[in-house]
Amino acid sequence: MAPAWLTELAAKAAHSPVPTALRPPADGTGRQAAVLLLFGEGPEGPDILLIQRSSKGRVHAGQPAFPGGGVDPDDAGPVAAALREAKEETGLDPSGVEVVGTMPELYVWRSDNRVTPVLAWWHTPCAVHAASPDEVETVERIPVAELVDPANRLRLRHPRGIAPSVAFRVRGLLVWGFTAGVLDGVLTAAGFERPWDRSRIEDLPPEVIDLAARG
């Protein structure tokens, strides 16, 4: 059974306001997609499953992300799509997952996706790996304690001159962009966030900019 903090988070998240920058176009354009925010209980407490996308990808190359992708015609909606994509990308066994809710749809302009985040609890964990090497380079279970550690938190300055955005540096991964923004909101809503130095601002690394430019 999912822990109380996660079911409470799902109840709040279902009605949370969507930031202006992430609101889907009013005309309904954009491809439907879904991502899986899969929490479990690891050796160091609650953790979340993240993947690092292949550096060979066309969009979001090399970026840490939640498992997920587009909603296919055969999918019975965003929840089914998130579970299917996670299985394809990481070898996840969906039978070990309890879906506890969904968040409002968010728009990712770079890939023109209308993304539904799916909140889930990993009650029976299984071994996971980069099951689709063309799409995924690595798979990691990241402890929440590491994500909220003030030493692992920063903001990134983008070359386009937009306001610095939240990021995490954990397990050799630089988590930024859409994934970092969703993580930041979810961890705060769940009551896990710890005070951190928001004046710690770094430039987006050149190698990350080069990969992002492929999209």
* Per-residue pLDDT tens digits for 15-24: 889 999 899 9
Dist. CA 121–CA 144, nearest whole Å = 14
Whether 50 has a pLDDT exceeding 90, the answer reads yes
Whether 110 has a pLDDT exceeding 90, the answer reads no
**Mean pLDDT, rounded, for 139-157:** 97
Number of separate domains in the chain:
1
Return phi, psi of residue 46, to 5°: -60, 140
Dist. CA 37–CA 214, nearest whole Å = 26
Other Cβ atoms within 10 Å of 27 Cβ, number: 6
**Range of 200's domain?**
4-212
pLDDT: which is higher, 215 or 80 = 80
pLDDT at res. 162: 76
* Per-residue pLDDT tens digits for 124-146: 999 999 999 989 999 999 999 99
How far does Cα 100 stand from its chain's mean position? 16
pLDDT at res. 210: 63
pLDDT at res. 208: 76
Whether 75 has a pLDDT exceeding 60, the answer reads yes
Domain containing residue 38: CATH number: 3.90.79.10
